[in-house]
Amino acid sequence: MDFLTSILTITIRAGTSLTIATIGEILTERSGILNLGVEGIMLMGALSAFTAVFYSHSIAIGLLVAIGVGGLLALLHAFLTTTMRANQVVSGLSITLFGTGFSSFLGQRLGPVANNFRLVGLRAERIVPLAPEWVKQIPIISAFFNQDIITYLVYILLPLAWFFLYKTRPGLWLRSVGEDPQTADAMGIDVTKTRYLYTILGGMMIALGGAHLSLSYTPGWSENITGGRGWIVIALVIFSMWNPARAVWGALLFGGINAVQFRLQASGTSIPANFLNMMPYIGTIIVLVVMTWWEALSKKVGAPAALGTSYMREDK
Amino acid sequence: MKFVFEKRKSTSVPALILVPLISFAVSLVLTALLLAIFGADPFKTYAAMAVGAFGTSHGFAETLVKAIPLMMTGLGVAIAFRLKFWNIGAEGQLTLGGVAAAGVALFMERYFPGRSLLFAALFGGLLAGALWAGIPAILKTTLKVDETLVTLMMNYIAILYSEFLYYGPWRDPKGYGFPGSRMFSANAWLPRIMGRAHVGIWVGIALAIILWLVLKRTRWGFELQIIGASQKAARYQGIAVERNIILAVMLSGALCGLAGAFEITGISHRLQQGLSIGYGYTAIIVAWMSQLNPLAVPFVAIALAGLSVGGDQVQMVMGLPAAMGVVMQGLILFPMLAGSLFTEYRFLVVKPEPRAACPEPSQE
């Protein structure tokens, strides 16, 4: 494989978990629910997928378990913020705090006796790239096809989510709930049901992003395997201005930063590793500032108008 | 029969006190279920935790050791949250405060003779925290950049920077490869009161009372309260919203920075690994359980510190992962969030009247 193809392959692989989680969070935020629990849900998705694959030896079961766990955590967030009208920021933060602690606890408890109940350091089946051997020989092109099933799923989900949001009736309903729940309600759309549905769906996709980490990108379980990716996802949602079609650019940019960082580290640069590791975080801040500034200049509002607010018919 | 939530005219005081207590109880029950699933006796575990955290003088001192940073960062987070500025950067502000305090104590001894070195180090930590928090505050007030993300990203940057220092230029050459700086002069050590617990506990309690007074009794506190309730209303009244937010957030960062300076000057006496162990995140739980009231922060901080020390104890006595304490801390927030509905709404059961289309308005 030539240099460019290898960089591109790693970039797409690194971007997969970010993109799928970003699409999920876009759907959730489009309904007006801000879910800051992404980091926690990704961690729980990574842990549950790895554990399930380790014991069942089936990738399919691992992915299904992760989807279930992600859906449950998102259901909790939907219940707290929609039915109990809790503060969305704090509810999301608690999901992340809980997910971080619980995944660390389970990681020291769900392992086999032989490993002192730990999951760290164990190996399980991985999701392998699907492409046949002859495709891997084609430069550049092979970077897109020499990928695993979750990346392929992202290829399908990206246009699908865009089409759904902007070209279908349920997509229009979803956007109207996030923009103006009062009007949506008056038009006969069930605001509560919509918010539950897309928060749960979003949670499932976020957990799949986590599963991709522990089953493919960095196979195995380690505490805080996400390393802040969940928070980068929230930045990517802003970066993409809540449009799934744009999610891919942000994810590729950050996947690219990761890839460059690895290459630099491998090449033995004189920049200390700590400063290289700061790159994604500094990058996020810069992108965020530029995007916010640009949005203000061009007077474009990307965020759903009702994002972060709870809706209660009786309050009117 | 129909269930209706009706908004209260003012927040319910019994609910303000009861909801955190009930949430604590619910988290105990949920964790007991979890323990039972993993084959541990919940009662034995809780007894071990309680004894470990409060039963011995060593345990109690360790609980205070953890309560001090939780108290300081909890106060800091509470101030920012009152303004709906979601500062989740307490961890980074604490880390940088610790770095600055260590820097002063290690390299500025000749400028600050005797005990003044301690005060210089503490002030350095406070300043570093305030400036680090000032960046997201200015970005938020001038460009409307989302503060949750910026404060969180800055945590990673601060922690990586501190690692760079104690693995790199500040590393003790005589430290046998141990990642940490050399120990600094005893002039910069905070006096201890019990075990490793230091006078920071008194500072924390005093600051809680002072902050409460500032928020409730001064003009500035009143202005902050209006900004927190509605920025629009504050602007109509001629309050300088942006300047006040920046000041309050820098105060929030200063408290977190001071927490880090306390860790360095009171506990480790050097910059080393283990400064950033999540106090800044637990601070969010402390602030929210205190209902953002500074007076409640010391109590909640001691309770949560007890869970954490008790969790360590359980690891030693019963072989359960110490992360169990963290899980319990996380579990407290969910019933707490669900329960906050009852402080602002009352729950009514309405019997449908025949022929009446709408539920009757309540009497109050």
Query: Residue A264 is part of a domain; what is its CATH number?
Result: 1.10.3470
Chain A residues 122-181 with a CB less than 8 Å from chain B: none
Give the gap in angstroms from C-alpha A93 to the nearest C-alpha of chain B.
8
For residue B284, give the nearest of A79, A97, A293 by CB distance.
A97
Strands B2-7 vs B192-194: parallel, antiparallel or unpaired: unpaired
Return the percentage of chain A with pLDDT > 70, whole number: 98
* pLDDT bracket for residue A316 (50, 70, 90): very low
CB contact under 8 A, A109 and B321: yes
Question: How far from each other are the two terminal CA atoms of chain B, in whole angstroms?
Answer: 21
CB contact under 8 A, B157 and A281: yes
Q: Could you write out the DSSP letters of every residue in B78-94?
A: HHHHHTT-----HHHHH
CA count, 13 A, side-chain hemisphere, B324: 30
Give the gap in angstroms from C-alpha A299 to the nearest C-alpha of chain B.
13
The one-letter code for the residue type at A228 is G
**Domain containing residue A237:** 3-315
Residue B322 has pLDDT above 90, yes or no: no
Helix (H, G, I), strand (E, B) or coil at B357: coil
Reported as a single tens digit per residue, the pLDDT across A270-296 is 788 889 889 889 988 998 899 888 888
The per-residue pLDDT for B314 is: 80
> Tokens 């637990």 label which residue?
B282
Return the percentage of chain A with pLDDT > 90, whole number: 59
CB contact under 8 A, B345 and A281: no
Reported as a single tens digit per residue, the pLDDT across B106-117 is 999 999 999 999
Residue A7 has pLDDT above 60, yes or no: yes
Residue A32 has pLDDT above 90, yes or no: yes
Q: What is the number of domains present in chain A? A: 1
Helix (H, G, I), strand (E, B) or coil at B272: strand
CB contact under 8 A, B143 and A234: no
Helix (H, G, I), strand (E, B) or coil at A258: helix
CB contact under 8 A, A94 and B163: no
Q: Could you write out the DSSP letters of every residue in A267-307?
A: TT-SS-HHHHHHHHHHHHHHHHHHHHHHHHHTT---S-TTT
CB contact under 8 A, B323 and A105: yes
The per-residue pLDDT for B353 is: 58
Burial class, A272, CB count within 10 angstroms (exposed 0-12 / middle 13-18 / buried 19+):
middle
Residue B21 has pLDDT above 60, yes or no: yes
A100 at B interface, C-beta within 8 A:
yes
A307 at B interface, C-beta within 8 A:
no
The one-letter code for the residue type at B113 is P
Residues of A in contact with B327 (CB under 8 A): 98, 101-102, 105
Lowest mean pLDDT among A294-308, B188-202, B240-254: A294-308
Q: Cα separation of B309 and B66, whole Å?
A: 8
CA nearest neighbour of B309 among B66, B47, B9, B21: B66
Contact A288, A43 (CB under 8 A): no
Chain A residues 15-44 with a CB less than 8 Å from chain B: 36
What's the alpha-carbon Rg for chain A, to the nearest Å?
A: 20
Residue B2 has pLDDT above 80, yes or no: no
Give the gap in angstroms from C-alpha B27 to the nearest C-alpha of chain A.
12
* pLDDT bracket for residue B341 (50, 70, 90): confident
The per-residue pLDDT for B364 is: 42
- Inter-chain contacts counted by CB atoms under 8 A, chains A and B: 130
Contact B256, B280 (CB under 8 A): yes
The per-residue pLDDT for B1 is: 60
Helix (H, G, I), strand (E, B) or coil at B183: coil
Looking at this predicted complex, what is its ipTM? 0.86
Q: Which two tokens stand for residue B364?
A: 């109050």
Q: Which two tokens stand for residue B314?
A: 């359980």
Burial A68-96 (b: 16+ CB within 10 A, else e): ebbbbbbebbbbbbbebbbbbbbbbbbbb
Residue A310 has pLDDT above 60, yes or no: yes
Question: What residues have CB less than 8 Å from A204, skipping those under 6 apart?
Answer: A24, A67, A70, A71, A74
Backbone φ, ψ for residue B183 (5° rounding): -75, 140
State the best of A285, A286, A300 to mutate against chain B, taking most chain B CBs within 10 Å: A285
Q: Which two tokens stand for residue B211?
A: 């902050």
Q: What is the mean pLDDT of chain B?
A: 90
CB contact under 8 A, B330 and A102: yes
Q: Cα separation of A286 and A145, whole Å?
A: 31
State the best of B7, B331, B334 to mutate against chain A, taking most chain A CBs within 10 Å: B334
Residue B227 has pLDDT above 70, yes or no: yes
The per-residue pLDDT for A166 is: 95
Residue B169 has pLDDT above 70, yes or no: yes
Residue B86 has pLDDT above 90, yes or no: yes
Return the percentage of chain B with pLDDT > 90, whole number: 65
Q: What is the mean pLDDT of chain A?
A: 90
CB contact under 8 A, A86 and B345: no
Q: Cα separation of A118 and A200, whole Å?
A: 30
Burial class, A219, CB count within 10 angstroms (exposed 0-12 / middle 13-18 / buried 19+):
middle
Give ∠ CA B209-B210-B213 in degrees, rounded to 5.
90
CB contact under 8 A, B153 and A231: yes
Residue B10 has pLDDT above 50, yes or no: yes
Lowest mean pLDDT among B14-18, B98-102, B204-208: B14-18
Region A40-67: what's the mean pLDDT?
Answer: 97
CB contact under 8 A, B153 and A98: no
B115 DSSP assignment: T
CB contact under 8 A, B163 and A274: yes
Helices (H), chain B: 13-37, 42-50, 57-82, 90-107, 116-143, 147-167, 200-217, 219-229, 231-236, 241-262, 279-289, 297-318, 323-339, 341-344
Q: H/E element holding B346?
A: strand B345-350
A105 at B interface, C-beta within 8 A:
yes
Q: Residue B312's beta-bridge partner residues?
A: none
Q: Which two tokens stand for residue A233?
A: 């996802």
Residue B204 has pLDDT above 60, yes or no: yes
Give the gap in angstroms from C-alpha A254 to the nearest C-alpha of chain B.
14
> Tokens 């970005």 label which residue?
B139
The residue extents of the domains of chain B are 66-291
* pLDDT bracket for residue A70 (50, 70, 90): very high
Residues of A in contact with B323 (CB under 8 A): 101-102, 104-105, 108
Burial class, A168, CB count within 10 angstroms (exposed 0-12 / middle 13-18 / buried 19+):
exposed
Q: Which two tokens stand for residue B284?
A: 């969010």
For residue A231, give the nearest of B152, B324, B329 by CB distance.
B152
Give the gap in angstroms from C-alpha A312 to the nearest C-alpha of chain B.
9
Q: Cα separation of B157 and B89, whole Å?
A: 11
Q: Which two tokens stand for residue B247?
A: 């000041």
Reported as a single tens digit per residue, the pLDDT across A150-189 is 999 999 999 999 999 999 999 999 999 999 999 999 999 9
CB contact under 8 A, B153 and A293: no
Residue B122 has pLDDT above 70, yes or no: yes
Q: H/E element holding B349?
A: strand B345-350
Region B70-79: what's the mean pLDDT?
Answer: 97
Question: What residues have CB less than 8 Å from A262, skipping those under 6 apart?
Answer: A10
Contact A130, A147 (CB under 8 A): yes
> How much of chain A is in helix, strand and coil states, percent to nearest 5?
70, 0, 25
The per-residue pLDDT for A171 is: 96
Question: How far from each other are the two terminal CA atoms of chain A, in whole angstroms?
Answer: 62
Q: Cα separation of B326 and A43, whole Å?
A: 15
Contact B125, B266 (CB under 8 A): no
Q: Cα separation of B170 and B168, whole Å?
A: 6
Lowest mean pLDDT among A31-35, A163-167, B145-149, B265-269: B145-149
Residue in chain B lying closest to A102 (CA): B327
For residue B284, give the nearest of A93, A231, A289 by CB distance.
A93
Q: H/E element holding A171?
A: helix A169-179
The per-residue pLDDT for B356 is: 47
CB contact under 8 A, B321 and A93: no
Reported as a single tens digit per residue, the pLDDT across A55-66 is 999 999 999 999
Burial B335-345 (b: 16+ CB within 10 A, else e): bbbbbbbbbeb
A60 at B interface, C-beta within 8 A:
no
Q: Cα separation of B326 and A42, whole Å?
A: 18
For residue B145, give the nearest of A234, A292, A312 by CB distance.
A292
Contact A164, A170 (CB under 8 A): yes
